[in-house]
Structure 1
Amino acid sequence: MNLQEFKNRLAANNPPQDIPLPLQALWYEAKGDWDQAHHLAQSAGDAAGAWVHAYLHRKEGDLSNAAYWYSRAGKTVSQLPLKAEWEEITQALLQQQS
């Protein structure tokens, strides 16, 4: 699945079930369900989940918590606009699936 196909699936009522939790979290965040996105990112327990978790806290405005999660993900704190960061993370995680 590429980024555009993933975005097209945002029209559905549920995320694709064949994708990992961090991508499901990004799907829910794009749909406006921050709480479900946070729950899924936190449940992932891996670097991808930590990266999504960092993004979510950055979007929330909790920058110190976001910095912690970027560190856990092995990433630097993003300076991108939030939409661009969402696309960057989504694209990277989709490429890992290929």
Structure 2
Amino acid sequence: MSNHEPLNRITDRIQSREQLQELSPKGVWDSSLTAAINSLSFNTPTADAAVDKAMIALKAGLHLCNDSLDESHAYSQEIEDDSTGGYWHGLMHRMEGDYSNANYWFSRAGAHLSQASIQSRVSDYLRSDVDLEELPSGAVREALLAIRDGQIWLPQILTGAIAAQESGQEKEETRPVLQMIQQIELAELLAFTITAATKEEQMI
């Protein structure tokens, strides 16, 4: 077995989800993945602190993609001074509904290297697959317009849109759009984290 086969099995299982992740998950999606993620190791000890932090961030990210917020939080707290760890930390708090704390961690993470690809993919999605003019007016549509027309990815804008959606004051038509954008953000950050942890080309 290669060092990366356990990781491949985990990511394949996560990608097999037929439904988009909820904006505010209420429980772990597949509890059988918890131990597999926790035991993930490439058996290549390194003196490179960046790689070590990336491995911790990878576990934080995989747990979050499995809706395991507490497990994800435990790992991201170990690398609070790391940009990728801070980004996963912010995403966890957003998904638990602690929006101000989420934005705090996004600010701590700063301009992350994954954000160019996130902005590109999200903007393309909103231009090609969503008729924003047909969505109900409100805070979510305004946020989506700002994201579509923006030049850089600002996770705080998505946080505000999700907060508005989860407040119950927005129409449900906008929920799947936010879920898809969340999915893109998670996928791009996870791909970046895998690359950093494995020192190889993007695997997913």
After TM superposition, the score normalised by the length of structure 2 is: 0.41
Answering whether residue 122 of structure 2 is matched by residue 87 of structure 1, we say no
Q: Which residue of 1 aligns with 2:110?
A: 74
* TM-aligned CA deviation for residue 21 of structure 1: 0.8
Q: Which residue of 2 aligns with 1:43?
A: 78
* TM-aligned CA deviation for residue 41 of structure 1: 0.8
Answering whether residue 61 of structure 2 is matched by residue 26 of structure 1, we say yes
Answer with 1 or 2: which has the greater Rg. Answer: 2
CA distance in 2, matches of 1:88, 1:51: 12
After TM superposition, the score normalised by the length of structure 1 is: 0.78
Kept in 1, the 8 Å contact 2:90–2:106? The answer is yes
The residue identity in structure 2 corresponding to 1:58 is: R
CA distance in 2, matches of 1:17, 1:59: 27
Give the SS at the match of 1:14: helix
More off after superposition, 68-77 vs 15-24: 15-24
Kept in 2, the 8 Å contact 1:25–1:40? The answer is yes
Moved over 4 A (4+): 9-13
CA distance in 1, matches of 2:67, 2:155: 22
Larger RCO (alpha carbons 8 Å, 6+ apart): 1
Q: Which residue of 2 aligns with 1:14?
A: 36
Kept in 1, the 8 Å contact 2:62–2:190? The answer is no
Q: Which residues of 2 match residues 59-70 of structure 1 at below 5 A?
A: 59-70=95-106
* TM-aligned CA deviation for residue 9 of structure 1: 6.0
CA distance in 1, matches of 2:102, 2:67: 19
Kept in 2, the 8 Å contact 1:59–1:82? The answer is no
Kept in 2, the 8 Å contact 1:24–1:40? The answer is yes
